[in-house]
Structure 1
Amino acid sequence: MATSKNEMLDALLARMDAALEKGEKLPWQKPWEPIYGDKSAPHNPLSDRPYSPQNMLLLLSAAMEKGYDDPRWVGYQQAKKEGWQVRQGEKASYIYSPVIKTEIDEKTGKEETRAVAYRATAVFNAAQIDGIPPLAIVPESERKPHTAELDAITRQMGVTIAHGGNEAFYTPTHDRIQMPSRDAFHDQHGYDATKAHELSHATGHESRLNRESLKQYASTKGRAAEEMTAEIGSYLLSTRLGVPFMGNSPDMTDVQHASYLVAWGKDLTQEERRTAVANGIKAATELEKYLELARENGLVRGQDQAIEQGQEQSLSEAKAALDLPRHTTLVLTPRTDLHPRNGDDERYVPVNMTSGRIEQVEHKARELTMTTIDGEKVSVKVPDGLSFCNFKDSGDYEKDLDKFFGLKGKDVDIRVPNEKSLIIFDRATGAELYNGISDRPRTPYFIMQSARVEYGSNGKTFYTHPDGGERKELESVTGKLKAIYDTHALEIQQKNGQPIMVFSSGSPVNPDGSETDMNRYRGLIGKEVTVKPKERGLDVAEVFRKAPSRDKGMER
């Protein structure tokens, strides 16, 4: 029996509406305990494998509706082969597997693989089956927290986490989760459940799933859709991991939560509701993907190494503890005065050209994955980490983006003859594949030590991360002003001769564009200045030194 995605989602929405009309809470709005330990998620008892997030949500909803506590679900014939018997008169629940078809997209002309329908498979809960052995309940004292897995997901995603205050929330502008301190929670499970919810929000960042409801969060409809998405995503992740679920969203008070449910029922169209539920499933799938990547990269540490008291360990510390090599990222720049430097999990190497096969073009052409002619697999970025298409070829961003995606699988030479140019050649024929010009030099963010005004510091402190050292706090930076990239990003040559990028939280992604400040800064290039942090921007002042005698100048 095949069905469409909308039919599948509509059946789920009907269950949700029926529960809400009765005044009942939805599965992800009720406290939940993993009483079966790591086997508490809906799973097949023969393979012990949990079902996909989509099917997990369907089975959890069916379990709520029918009152099943057992997480095991199995097909009729599978049960029969094991000598178990589905009781007469019991009704099946259904899971769905996609029917995959490869088609040519009419707009792009490219071959695409997509799910054209979903095939239903009948399954029965263990509570409907005679002869199946009971599932052992795991005492609460033996249920271990899953902080290590959540920390690994956070590091793999590249999301920043800060602690302080009494609220939990995600800020997409800075790709940052704000959490109360660990001491503010009743136990580690409560802290973990809240982090899972905020990580679910973070999947909607433009660099990940680029979710519209996250962008429209300030509106009533956007908030209702996004909170439903985040609740479903975090519920499925928590269920998969065995993290006790706390119920209502930690982003909202009970009054706000009730208001969002009213908006969910009255203001959103059926299509918008389908999208919100589908996005919750996508969020959970995305989080599972990051967990698998983190495991592959060795980032899931033993629980005895997990972070205590709500403090994050940097990825570089985790890598160092595991003695893992840093991944190499080549940063394209014509500057020969810059040297390789280490980030959290990357080694950034400045180069003015590179050659190899392009294996993958990442989201919005912000990064290329390449196998160099030496056989090394590396990432390639432009200095500010934004899209390669900021070096404009045709002048049409979408056309330039298509050109970059068309480079996948090609052997190329990439060169940057100057700070505003990017040229890509076909290695076999020498043909020019891309010739882009930028309207300004790209900010060398990845290849220079930086000091920034960190969001939430009230503009009082710079934070800097020297290579091989701990984070330092600076009240000011003094040196010769070498370059300006916008009113929030300046390059300073320090007394030791090393450059440092000084910027505020609004830069380099969102230039101020104030010509008054830009003209004033231009007049300071080559002069010694002191830069102090402000909450939004930088306070730059020329250093005037009093001459000790008439025959000695002011220069130091």
Structure 2
Amino acid sequence: MSNNQFIYQMVTDKILEKLRQGVAVWRQSWVNMFPVNWVTQKPYRGVNLFLVEPGEYATLKQIKDAGGRVKPSELKNSSVVVFWKMLKYKNDDPDSGDEGDGQKLVPYLKYYRVYNVGTQCTGIKPKGLQLQKRNQHTPIKAAEQLIKNYKDAPPVYYASGRAYYSPKIDRISMPPIEDFDTPEDYYATKFHELAHSTGHKSRLDRDLQEIAAFGDECYSKEELVAELTAAMMCGIAGIDGSTLDQSAAYLDSWIKQLEDDPRLIVNAAAQAQRAADYMQGITY
């Protein structure tokens, strides 16, 4: 058994042991963010929370006025935000039934096309005024080297908010390391999203149809593979001790399935080993 295989098995066994013992509730280890207007830094409200991802957004005019530009490849990928308020109009119709000052309220609705300043623009940067905290972390060299070894990894875009992999466009979105409680949490999350990307049809070709488009929790087998892969990569980087509890908590919903079908963990662990090897450039 190679050293990597030993680590893979050790990590899998430890996670199963922690699952059987019972684990704490999984918690998000980075700053929770909302989408905001880049100019005013005011959070969007209402339906806009469902229309755009966390980040800072500006219109094309606002971006140009600030000396920035939208990346040519992103011009067609604008998001829509909606603005509305109730306007007062004088009511001249005596038979309308309106009382009081003779005014009526009419809803005014308008939409704007906006771009994410952090991921879709050049020449300007997010202001980050809504951040609750910014941690100063030192990168972990062993983890950084493992990431560099993943030669055909998809591009990673950094923006405060959610972490997710999009198989449709083969791209990862990650909060920056400063948003995380610890550097170990950052690398565990990044390894998880990188693990998803190994399943792309151009790589190991796993079925990624069940991955939610914007990182919503989706308890498919792919999630099990990705989290096991992340735990294995953390083990190789020497940071498994601080992340195993989180991995076990994340996978807690799987305990019944794992107990009912012992082959599930074996199969998922085998796919996780392939993913971890692929990320390191190890071929068979």
TM-score band by shorter chain is: 0.3 to 0.5
Which protein is bigger by CA-based radius of gyration? 1
TM-score (norm 2): 0.45
As a proportion of its length, which structure holds more strand? Answer: 1
> With CA pairs under 8 Å and 6+ residues apart, which has the higher RCO, 1 or 2?
2
